Amino acid sequence: MSLHHLRQKLLSWYDQHRRELPWRPSPSPYATLVSEFMLQQTQVKTVIPYYEAFLRRFPDIESLARASEEEVLQLWQGLGYYRRARYLHQAAREIVKHHEGEIPIHDVKALRRLPGIGPYMAGALASIAGGKAVPALDGNARRVWRRLLGKDDPRLLKAMAQKAVDPLRPGDFNQALMDLGNLICRPKKPLCPACPLWEICRTRGEGNQPSPRKPPRPVSRPTLILRRQNEVFLEKRPAEGLLGGLYGFPALPPGFPARRLPRWDYRHTFSHRVWEVKVYEALAGETGISLEGQYVPLQPDPPLPLPRAFRPLWEKLWEEAAEEKDDESPEDEG
């Protein structure tokens, strides 16, 4: 099959079977930028409501650049991998400051210099929003090429992907490979007979099952509730590392005197570890430890960006506070 035939087959399939996604019709550079940051390591169905809410709050690059990091992180709550949110925010500020608010979609090198943008995202932005004939190799596209070629050679994959990009429809071509990998050339049980490139595939899905992933390792996480009347303390986590830049309940310092609340214990699973959260509490006046953060009032929704890992504890605290408030209310007169 010639490259012309391959492009024709793939794009014909894409025109009939493409996924209908909110960032695809007449993709603007900004919409593409936001969607690509959100889609890293996250399923499309999870991203869609976050993407729509994000664009309602920050409809353009200027509004995002003006926002505080805390505002961005609060809107990102629940989507995970919070470093992406900080990089997106930093990239928006760089674009406004150094590119007059215009995303440099025609310059792959300039895109690569922006925070959080690697080879794949630069290729996606340049091809989808800029119409530039460059490859965009995400995990789905790489799997398609590995199976088509029957080899797992990164240099060969990159060279073939660059050579094959359709010069007239580069964005559609790259998205077609992504959709093909997602819908047909799946990691497990690929639907080979439905593939438009079946006749040239060297493997037709055989022998390409991924090695089983290691289960996330359990990690004990003693967690401290610091109370002050109807307020609790939320610590601001360091910018780098797990849940960086967000707020959470602090870890219990070794040897710190605190009361154990075993019935409040819970587990939270990340992609690579499982927190076994063991809960303790103390009053503000009892602590001499120094932490960065602030006391906040208990209410249904946290006033600061609080990730899912700490939501069960916040919900228990709010339920307890609401029950106490009900108990204090005077009984209705008969």
Q: What is the pLDDT of residues 112-126, one digit of tens each?
A: 999 999 999 999 999
Whether 276 is catalytic: no
Return the H-helix or E-strand segment holding 321: helix 311-328
- Kindly report the pTM of this predicted structure: 0.76
Tokens of 262: 């075993």
306-332 pLDDT, tens digit each: 988 999 999 999 888 777 666 555 555
What confidence category does residue 334 fall into, taking pLDDT thresholds of 50, 70 and 90? Answer: very low
- Mean pLDDT estimate for the chain: 89
Mean pLDDT of 238-247: 84
Positive or negative: CA dihedral 136, 138, 140, 144: positive
Q: Do domains 3-138+169-181 and 217-328 have the same CATH topology?
A: no
Portion of the chain with pLDDT greater than 90, in percent: 67
| Confidence at residue 326, expressed as pLDDT on a 0 to 100 scale | 60
Whether the per-residue pLDDT at 305 is higher than 60: the answer is yes
Contact status, residue 84 vs residue 37, Cβ threshold 8 Å? yes
270-293 pLDDT, tens digit each: 888 999 999 999 887 655 667 788
Range ranked top by mean pLDDT from 74-78, 107-111, 205-209: 107-111
Please report, for residues 99, 121, 164, 328, the alpha-carbon distance to residue 240 in angstroms, rounded to integers and kept in the order given: 27, 22, 38, 43
Whether the per-residue pLDDT at 52 is higher than 80: the answer is yes
In terms of Cα–Cα distance, which of 308, 12, 13, 24 is closest to 180? Answer: 13
| Confidence at residue 90, expressed as pLDDT on a 0 to 100 scale | 97
- Alpha-carbon gap, residue 144 to 191, rounded angstroms: 12
- Alpha-carbon gap, residue 63 to 299, rounded angstroms: 28
Q: Is 293 left (phi over 0), alpha (psi -120 to 50) or beta?
A: left
29 CA to centre of own chain: 19
Tokens of 210: 């991924």
What confidence category does residue 75 fall into, taking pLDDT thresholds of 50, 70 and 90? Answer: very high
| Confidence at residue 333, expressed as pLDDT on a 0 to 100 scale | 46
Mean pLDDT of 11-37: 94
Domain segments of the chain: what residues? Answer: 3-138+169-181, 217-328
Strands 231-236 and 247-248: antiparallel
Q: Looking at domain 3-138+169-181, which of 3.40.47.10, 1.20.1730.10, 3.30.450.40, 1.10.340.30 is its CATH number?
A: 1.10.340.30
Q: Is 274 left (phi over 0), alpha (psi -120 to 50) or beta?
A: beta
| Nearby residues of 164 by Cβ (< 8 Å), 6 or more positions away | 3, 6, 7, 135, 173
What confidence category does residue 243 fall into, taking pLDDT thresholds of 50, 70 and 90? Answer: confident
Q: What is the torsion angle, in degrees rounded to the nearest 10, for the CA atoms of residue 38, residue 42, residue 43 and residue 49?
A: -40
130-185 pLDDT, tens digit each: 999 999 999 999 999 999 999 888 899 999 999 999 999 999 999 999 999 999 99
Contact status, residue 34 vs residue 7, Cβ threshold 8 Å? no
SS3 of residue 283 by DSSP = strand
Please report, for residues 52, 75, 87, 209, 211, the alpha-carbon distance to residue 49 in angstroms, rounded to integers and kept in the order given: 5, 11, 20, 31, 32
Check 36, 102, 240, 281 and give the catalytic one. 36
Residues in the chain: 334
Contact status, residue 203 vs residue 190, Cβ threshold 8 Å? no
- Third-level CATH fold of 217-328: Nucleoside Triphosphate Pyrophosphohydrolase (3.90.79)
206-228 pLDDT, tens digit each: 645 555 667 889 999 999 999 88
For residue 207, give the amino acid letter: G
